[in-house]
Amino acid sequence: MGQFSRELLAVSSQIFSRAAPEQGGVISGANPASYNASDPFPLWVIQVVLILFMTHALSLLLGRLRQPRVISEIIGGIILGPTVMGRIPNFQNRIFPNDSMPLLGLTSTVGLVFYLFLVGLEIDTRVIKRNAGASAVVSIAGLIVPLGLGAALAIGIYHEFVDQSKVDFGLFVLFVAVAVGITAFPVLCRILTALKLLDTTVGIVALSAGVGNDIVGWILLALTVALLNASSGLTALWVLLCCVGYIIFLLYPVRWAYKWLARRTGSIEQGSPTAAMMSITLVIVLVSAFFTDIIGVHPIFGGFLAGLIIPHDNGYAISLVEKQEDIVTMLLLPIYFTLSGLRTNLGLLDNGITWGYTILICVVSFVSKFTACGVTALVGKFNWRESGAIGALMSCKGLVELIVLNIGLQAGVLDTRTFSMFIVHALIVTFMTTPLVLMFYPERVRVHEGETLRGNQPGLEESRPRPSSSGDGFKTRISFVLDKIDQLPATMMLSQLIKNNPSMSTPTPSRSTDEKDDHQESSGAAELYGTPSPSQSPPIHIDALRLVELTTRTSAVLKSQEAESLLHNDPVVSIFRTFGGLNKLEISATLSVVDQAEYPDAVARRAQESESQLIVLPWSRGSASVYESDVQNTARNPFDGVFHKSNVHIQDQTSSVVYSEFIRGVFLKSPSDVALFVDRGFSGESGSAEHHLFLPFFGGPDDRLVLTFLVQLCHNPLVTATVVRIIKTEELSPISTIAEAKAAIAANTLAHTTIATADTVYGNQTTQTRLASSTADSIIWDKYTTASDTRGSALTSALSRINFGVESSTTPLRAVVDLSLTTVTQNSNKSVTICLGRSRRMAVESHKPELQQIINEAGGFVGSSVPKTLGDVGAAIVAKGIHTNLLVMQAAIENS
């Protein structure tokens, strides 16, 4: 009879034989901490809560060191066990009495079965196939050498610590070899996720090699358990044959039937299991665990096999994991690892020989794995940094080793002393993994999947020419960043405004008949092959980057592995592609699963790969709760005013602050121009398809970029615009240095400060740079305001829809506010958008004092992070509550 069956019978006999409990409970004087076989639930709850508190507290501490959760769970068990708290009189007998352990053990076994089911789900054979060459060699080398050295190490341990009359030598050698030689695939996945390596070449190879290593590990574990439970060699053979037969039965007929049922119920089509399929899945997991247990193999092997039959089509496996992972990984699994710690007694490591062998186990295990995998990777054309990282990653321990050790302890192959020695080894080696990987493979040298070899060639990236705009400076390659479905309306509206319009065609000079015939022939060929003819402006190409947050959850690991499949089924991308097809827009899309803190880097990297000239960040208020409220009596975050509308208070809360940090990160790191389109909910109020744009032109590289982009948008006949050049009649003292800028910000302290992302700080402005910028302002202003016979008809038509003007004022921000209100009133039948330069660098002058006055008049609810995100002019618009959308742009540093 297997372990699971014994635990189940023990608990069942206690439950069914119990008498009716005292109904008064604690009121009658009952002690809930006392174990009662007839009512074990109160003590079980105390044990579980204590375990969860200890493990999660340690996880918060060790998480700052980027250590996997398994370390905190084992250490928590060691602290609760005889090593630390067990030394408190009666603690062990009161909180963890021996009679209560079967129920706790059964709970942990159930959790482990379902966790191994999730591990089986993580193993995708497509990952192995994509990286079969490099990963297979690394995996084989990382198995043969450690297994061999582990077997040699077992000889010394057997003769020094083991009672040879009770423990079979061959079985002990097999246990030690498996414990030393196997990589913990689940722990490897968590480390790759925590270090953000899942999309790097090193991470992909290590993950693929870990899959093969894990499969071999489970086979060796099944062999070990079969030999342990068999009374003779013939019995062991029958156990292995039954196991092989069951694997074939599960992987073929059952798998086919399950996939057929999933398709028949529509689960695969909708990418989520129905209630019936969820029930069938749970039954398969439990029955599979039951069968492998009763034939003499551990029940977790059945859970692992059940995970292998789940189809990965259309995100079905991801949805299945999301429905189970929290209860398994947060509640049930920590109990198992804590039990391993409870069985550990470091007090038995009380002499030099014991500690000497413990250190030897650590050295042999790490050096054999690190050297075998690292050298193999180095021979396989990886550089020394990548090879070192692969070797360090493959040396991590965890789940498989702990299962082997616990089985060995329960079977008497290991005693508490040797068990504790190997637990210490698992902790030390796993703890070393993260710092070693960071040392060998820091972020600056990482090569992500899809990048070319230019990442390994210094200087090549810098020498690569930036993508050029059209002859008029118009943008033809634009990237939209999407991380939620709420951003689609704003994205669609702006895409429709900037799409190529027939009126944008540049005029062609008159030609003779022969020349016209030649030209028509070449134009036809250009149309046939999709190449624009010389008489046409370049087509607009839109690249959509879909961002999905990478967390430490199992489902996030699956999403990273199946990013390509998710891209084809993602609703946000599908809707945007359909919109592009209906509007004849050329749209390409990519999906990136990255940590939220890495969003700006992912955007910058994708912009460089796609050669985008402009990155567009849509920002909508989303599905925030809306309620009538007295704004004066309501606590708000600094971005409440951005999405404030009439007397309705929108509770946007921290999501706006977090998203603003992402926006500022993109402004800081982007290699291209950036446009932030803030959809404040006023796009569709007029019910008209016409749009009116308003630009207060102060000057500087950002305002010049906005002016050029506004002219491009006005090629659309449904778009009109007003551009007013703002001139300050009294010159304010310029902010000429970073130190003075910081002093100005400190002197004008705003009502709310949230600083997590560094502000965009730029170099000093000299008289020469100011003069050059002022000259550039005058040139571009004259270009669009002065009549010229050399303009094409399209540009002439676009400029005819723009009203240019000049406004002089001693208070420029107030002038902009008044002009904005006038523009909104005069164009009440249109959707109005105010276009602004962010002007966080090379601003013409400082608006800090005037902005502070406007904020104070508005009630002081706009914090310092708002102007850092939207710029001073944008912050003034928000503070005054003007009902328009905002388009805030920043020019790339190279374009300044």
**What pLDDT digit, counting tens, does each position of 494-532 carry?**
888 887 554 444 444 434 434 444 444 333 333 333 334
CB atoms within 10 A of CB 331: 14
Least confident of 330-334, 738-742, 842-846, 847-851: 738-742
Helices (H), 670-804: 701-713, 738-747, 767-785, 793-800
Between CA 447 and CA 327 the distance in angstroms is: 35
CA 855 to chain CA centroid, nearest Å: 36
What is residue 395's DSSP assignment? T
Is the pLDDT at 334 greater than 70? The verdict is yes
Residue 311, sorted as left (phi over 0), alpha (psi -120 to 50) or beta, turns out to be beta
pLDDT tens by residue, 259-313? 999 999 999 988 889 999 999 999 999 999 999 989 888 888 899 889 989 998 8
Query: Taking all residues of the chain, what is their mean pLDDT, rounded to a whole number?
Result: 79
Of 570, 520, 70, 582, nearest to 335 (Cα)? 70
The CA dihedral of 154, 155, 160, 163, to the nearest 10 degrees, is 90
Spatial neighbors of 844 by CB under 8 A, at least 6 apart, are 698, 699, 700, 728, 773
Query: Is residue 873 over pLDDT 60?
Result: yes
Using a pLDDT cut of 90, give the percent of the chain over it: 32
Structural domain boundaries in the chain: 3-19+30-445, 477-502+537-760+775-786+796-895
Contact 564, 521 (CB under 8 A): no
DSSP H helical segments within 441-487, as ranges? Answer: 460-463
Q: Are 108 and 335 in contact (CB under 8 A)?
A: yes
Q: How confident is the model at residue 763 (pLDDT cuts 50, 70, 90)?
A: very low
- Of the candidates 222, 200, 193, which has an alpha carbon nearest to the alpha carbon of residue 389? 200
477-502+537-760+775-786+796-895: in CATH 3.40.190.10:
no
- pLDDT the model gives residue 841: 57
Q: How far is CA 886 from CA 109, 494, 706, in A?
A: 56, 12, 12
The per-residue pLDDT for range 161-213, each reduced to its tens digit, is 998 888 889 889 988 998 888 888 778 877 887 787 876 888 888 888 887 78
Residue 202's closest CA among 138, 141, 129? 138
Quote the pLDDT of residue 584.
85
839 dihedral zone (left: phi>0; alpha: psi -120 to 50; beta): left
Rounded CA separation 671/893 (Å): 8
| 6 or 191: which leads in pLDDT | 191
Closest CA relative to residue 838, chosen from 730, 637, 677, 721: 677
Place of tokens 């899309």: 589
What is the pTM (predicted TM-score) of this model?
A: 0.72
**Which amino acid is it at 4?**
F
Q: Taking the domain 3-19+30-445, which CATH number applies? A: 1.20.1530.20
Give the C-alpha separation, 358 to 416, whole Å: 13
